[in-house]
Amino acid sequence: MKTIKQTQIADYIGVSPQMVCDIRKGRRRLSKEKSKKISIKTGIPFEDIALGGGDELYKKMVFAYQQQEAVK
């Protein structure tokens, strides 16, 4: 299985790699507007993005990224 890097997830969802790290560690949350955009792009429910954080949200983002890559 190919390793997915935080920089790849950051590029995919349109935030900085540092923001991905902060989200993953639960230090920051995304704005309402950014959460909506990511929800539309990834298919992750808005509530999960806006209210969530940590490894669980990061895993959902990785899964969405892998699904997107699979259709290329």
Domain of residue 35 covers 6-67
pLDDT of residue 71: 83
Q: Does residue 1 sit within a domain?
A: no
User: What DSSP character marks residue 52?
Assistant: -
Checking if the pLDDT of 72 tops 60, the result is yes
Range 50-60 average pLDDT: 90
Q: Can you tell me the distance from the alpha carbon of 48 to that of 35, in angstroms, rounded to the nearest whole number?
A: 9
Residue-wise DSSP of 8-46: HHHHHHTS-HHHHHHHHTTS----HHHHHHHHHHH---H
Q: Is residue 39 part of a domain?
A: yes
Is 72 inside any structural domain? no
* Count of the separate structural domains present in the chain: 1
**pLDDT band at 44; cut points 50, 70, 90:** very high
In angstroms, the CA 72 to CA 34 distance is 24
pTM score: 0.88
Give the mean pLDDT of 33-54: 92
